[in-house]
Structures are given as C-alpha cells and as structure tokens.
Chains A and B, each alone.
Chain A
Amino acid sequence: MPVVVACFKWVVDEAYIRRGAGGALDFSSVDYKIGEYDRNAIEEAVRLRDAGGGGSVIGITVGAPESAKGVKDGLSRGMDLAFFASDPSFKDLEPSQTAAILAEVIRSRIPQYDLITCGEGSSDLYAQQVGPRLAELLGIPCVCFVQKLSLEGGKLVTDRRVEDGVEVVEAPLPALVTVLPDINTPRIPGVKDTLMAGKKPVTTIKREELAGSFGATLKTEAMTASSLERTGEKLAADAAGIARFVDTLRKSGVIR
C-alpha cells in the first residue's frame, strides 16, 4: 500500500506563445496546462497505488495563486489529495527555488512516504533539475530518466535509460525518480474525474507558513523569442519539382 508523492507544475502552454515586436515573447493569449512530463509522473504514481492495492497519491505543486486550477487538473488525473504552495512570489521560480519549496512542504507536511515521482523535466523551462535537487535536499536516493519501475519489498527497482543503454538500478525506499515519457500513457481525465477533483482535499500553504528563504541562484536577464525560420521554398511534387529539389541538394554541397 504505497504512499507516492507526485510533483507537478502548472505551466504556460507553449503552443500559445507568440512572437511579439522586436523578438519579445507575447504571452497575452496564453493558456496553461499541466506539464507534459508531469502527467507521466502523476500517472505512474497512480499506477503504483492501484497496483499496490491501496495507499495514496499525494500531489504537490508550487506556484502563484492562479495555479489553483492546475491543482484541480492534477487531482482529476487520479491523485487523492494535494498540497499547493501558493504565493504571488512563486511565479517564474527557478529550479533551485522550486526544489527548496517542495522539500520544505514534504519535510513539514508529509511525515511518511515511499516514493516521489517527478517528470523528467518541466514543459516550460525543461531544466531537468527539480527532481534530483529535491532528492538531495531530502537526503533520499534518486534515480533519473526511469522508463520502467516497480516497488518490491521496500526497494525500488527501475530501468533507467542512459546514453549507452539501460541500467537496472535498485534503491532503498523512500526514494525519488524522474520518469521518461514512455513509462506510461497518461490518461485524459473524463468528465467525472474533473467534477470529482474539486471535492478532493487540497491544503494550500502560503509562503509565510514555510520555513526558508528560497533565494534565487541564477538571474534571468532576458527571455526572447527564438527563431528557427528558414527560407521555406515549397516545390511541387512533379518531375520539375523533384529535379529542382535534388539539384538544390547537390548545389548546397551536402551530398557527396
């Protein structure tokens, strides 16, 4: 009956970011979503709970008060209850701050747990730091980039993907994992899941209720739109188009 803590973040849906004047980012019509990879973390936590014949899944997120909708979204994905560290200053945090706040919430509010699941990275910053940082701050073992996992006799057994193959790794519990997107297929919450989410317990924690200063270690000097645009010449699928396509390849010197 495992107790699994799933960490998630309510992020800007990058599909709605527009390129504004002078290369600035235009956030005027953005929508928000649960980070794509965090959905795998939640799904895996729920899977472990259900496979373990009980237990619970506790969600945690850190954000500005507007992220309350994200808490509901998270709960609609099968979690039992949630902690929401909410403060206007918790917007645009860097990974070191997010990890420190999560660690403090877990230390002070969740006395017992078996496993913490995190996505491999957030959908917005994709710094891939919060998971391993959080494990260090809590002083628990950490396995990143996990594509398969199980809990067996007080131990965590995982397949983690590294450049040269797969390592089967074990660690004593409690531990933290960051999961890869192919570990599972996150559910799309059904209507009832969403309606029930609002009835699940949420503990909102304000900044002053947390011990710690949570200072930044990096400073974002600028966030500008990147451009991948190229000339984008479109050719027809006829003989002339194909001949020109191959000819252009040859002339560009990339075919030997």
Chain B
Amino acid sequence: MNFKLTEEQELIRKNIREFCVKNVEPIAAEIDEKESHPADLFKKLAEGGWMGIPIPTQYGGAGADYLTNAIVVEELSRSCSSTGFTVSIHVGIACMLINLFGTEDQKKKYLVPLATGKHLGAFVLTEPGAGTDVMAATTTATKDGDAYVLNGTKTFISNGPIADTYLVFCWTDKAAGRKGMSSFIIPKGTPGLKPGEHFHKMGLRSSQTSEVVFKDCRLTKENLLGAEGAGMGNAGAAFDHGRVGIAAQGVGILQAALDESIKYSKERVQMGSPIARHQAISWMIADMATDLQAARFLTYYAAWLKDNKLPFTKDASMAKLFAAEKAMHHTTKAVQIHGGYGYIKGAKVERLMRDAKILEIYEGTSEAQRMVISGTVLR
C-alpha cells in the first residue's frame, strides 16, 4: 500500500496551486458576484495544458493519469469552485467520453480542440422532467433516411451558453428501453441547436448554466458517439468519471473551508484568547480536518482504481457522496466559526457554503449515489 503521490503529481499540485494563487484566487469573488465566465483565465488554463490532463498526447492532452486530473480539479476548486467544476465537466465528461467512445475522425475533429482547451465541452442529459430518472427523458432523435432529427428541451446544462461541443443524450428508439438511448457530438452553431439564457444560481455562479433546446436539429451518423443505442452505457461512464471530479471539487472546498477556519480562528480573539483555543471551535476544526482527509482518500482511491483499469462506479459514488455531504456540512461550520463576518458577501466561506450545496445535487443527487452504492453492496 502506497499513499505517496508521485514526484510529478506533487510538482503538478504545487504548480497549479501557484497558478491559482496568481490567476484564480484574485478574481473568484468577482466572477461569482458578476456571474461571469472568466474567458482569459480559461485561455491561461489551456496554455498550461490543464484542460486535457488525462487525454493522450496524440489527441492534444497531457497524457497524465486521472488522479492527476483530480488533484488539479481539487486545487482549482480550493480557489474557485466554479472554475474547478467547469474544468472537471469539460475534462472528466466531454473529453473522456470522446476519448473512450469516439472514432479516430471524431477524436481528431472534436477531441483535439477540446483537450487543448481551444474548445469547451458540455454534457447534455438532464431534462425538466428527467433528473435522477434518466428513463423519463423525452428528447428524441428520429431517423430520416441516414440523418437523425433531434427535438426536445434539456435543462441545467453546465457550460450550456458557452460550450463549443455538446454531448447530447436522447432516445433513438424509446421502445427499446435502456438500449434505445444514443449519444451525439454536436458542435455549436449546428442549425436547430439553441442554448438558452444563463440561469441565476445560489452558488457556483460563474459556471454558466442554461437550457439547451433542439428544434429539428439535423445530424448525421458522424455525430453519433459510439453505436446507436449505446447512450445509456456512455452516460454511465460519464457519471463514473464525472463523479470523481465532483468529489475532487468537494475536497477542494473542504480544504478551503479548513484553510479559512484555521486562519480566522487563530486571529479572532474572544473572551481573551483566539477562538481556536476554545474547544467548541477547535473540535469543529478537528472534525473538518478528519473529514477532509477521508474525502481525499476516497476520491484519490476512486481515481486510482480508474487509472488501474479496475471497476470504480461504486467508489466514485462513495467519494462523491461523502465529499459532497461533508463539504456542505463543514462549509456551514466554517461560516459558524466566522460568525457574522462569515455571513457577509465577500467572505470566502460565504461563497464556499453556497458553492457546496450543488455538490449534493448534480451528477446524481446524494440519494442517487446511495442507490448506486446500495445497489452494488446488496447485489
């Protein structure tokens, strides 16, 4: 058993941390407030190769492992959860799915610009009436000769308003049940694809979220990702990879909550001593540090399984469930430790708490994770 990261992983963590301190931390509060996508920052992320870490070098990636990607998402999220998530969904889902299931032509055409960060990807699955219940989706791709014609409305699509490449899941044969869903790669600007307006959210505000509407959107077989009917399987792979990213995001938020709580509690004096010396506070911090470590181990373990080509569906769910719930719990505590100051806009812990909540909801709610985990352990 070896808990030590490789020298490369340690150096990459150090570099992305420095990158974040210089480029992310200073703008995080502002892009949250303005709900704006930091295009300049993403240009810098692309230049450093941070947008395609686990993708092979021949497709524009860095050819590193998935654990390295998790470390980078963690560090980005420690400074700005929105940025960490945008990278996570772009790499963990958009890039990974094309890398896993795309044809050579699709990889050249779509994966290279994605993995080099010139393009941004989006994962288009959720519908107004189909969240956890994927089978309730209504978007269809109807065959018209060799073409497919898409109709339907997707919602809560991260990167929806700004993506260059959309991975869309819809029914090609509703009657075939789980085997009737297919996935498509659709470039922006395709006639009939219409991203909606940015939703105003409680947290994760600089991540751009919208509806994506399809109205007689005509596609060819070249847009099909994997075989017809492989959509559900592809979505499963998307969730497995994506959830490791969300877990890493939770770890980053937990680390930030701990950083802020330690700093503040050592400075803030009440009743004659720094509040860190008050047991009520120091125990909160002890619990926070412990859960952070546990969340990090779960997350790295899930990534390690993936890197070693072992099944990791249950482990990704466990990591995501634990990191999400602990992030929510401890960011609330971090605000508590900060008292009134923590409730004021501009306090980092205030943003952390708002950003944490979504972790329990997207890419499978905590309830959905428990379904996956119990389904596996009770099998």
Contacts and interface: CB of A to CB of B under 8 A. Distances in A.
Contacts of A215: none
A104 to B, nearest CB: 27
B379 interface: no
A198 B50 contact: no
A198 B8 contact: yes
Given A195-B8, A195-B63, A190 B50 contact: yes
B22 A194 contact: no
A69 interface: yes
B62 A188 contact: no
B46 to A, nearest CB: 10
Contacts of B53: 191
Interface in B296-337: none
B222 interface: no
A189 B19 CA distance: 9
B11 A72 contact: yes
A91 B306 CA distance: 39
Interface string B1-28: 0000001101110110011001000000
B10 A69 contact: yes
Nearest to B269: A234
A251 interface: no
A73 B11 contact: yes
A232 to B, nearest CB: 9
Contacts of B22: 188
B47 A189 contact: no
Interface string B40-78: 000000011110010001000011100010001000000
27 contacts: A31-B14, A33-B14, A69-B11, A72-B7, A72-B11, A73-B11, A73-B14, A188-B18, A188-B48, A190-B47, A190-B49, A191-B12, A191-B50, A191-B64, A191-B68, A191-B72, A192-B49, A192-B57, A193-B49, A194-B8, A194-B11, A194-B12, A195-B64, A197-B8, A197-B11, A198-B7, A198-B8
Top-6 shortest CB links A-B: A190-B48, A191-B62, A190-B49, A191-B49, A69-B7, A192-B49
Nearest to B9: A194
B338 to A, nearest CB: 16
B8, B19, B64 — most chain A CB neighbours (10 Å): B8
A76 interface: yes
A250 B306 CA distance: 66
Given A69-B10, A192-B49, 9 more contacts: A72-B7, A72-B11, A73-B14, A189-B48, A190-B15, A195-B63, A197-B11, A198-B7, A198-B8
B13 to A, nearest CB: 10
B21 to A, nearest CB: 10
Contacts of B19: 188
A147 to B, nearest CB: 22
Contacts of B12: 191, 194
Interface residues on A, range: 10 to 19
A200 to B, nearest CB: 13
A198 B53 CA distance: 17
Interface in B128-170: none
Contacts of A195: 8, 62-64
A76 B7 CA distance: 12
Contacts of A193: 49
Contact of B48 (A69, A73, A191, A197): A191
Contacts of B62: 190-192, 195
A72 B8 contact: yes
Contacts of A188: 15, 18-19, 22, 48
Nearest to B72: A191
Contacts of A189: 11, 15, 48
A89 to B, nearest CB: 23
B49 A76 contact: no
Interface string A65-108: 00011001100100000000000000000000000000000000
A57 to B, nearest CB: 18
Contacts of B50: 190-191
Interface string B337-352: 0000000000000000
A33 B15 CA distance: 10
A193 B12 CA distance: 9
A184 to B, nearest CB: 15
A194 B68 CA distance: 12
Contacts of B48: 188-191
A8 to B, nearest CB: 14
Contacts of B49: 190-193
A68 B10 CA distance: 13
Nearest to B12: A194
Interface in B59-103: 62-64, 68, 72
Contacts of A190: 15, 47-50, 62
B14, B22, B57, B63 — most chain A CB neighbours (10 Å): B14
A194 B50 CA distance: 12
B162 to A, nearest CB: 23
A31 B68 CA distance: 19
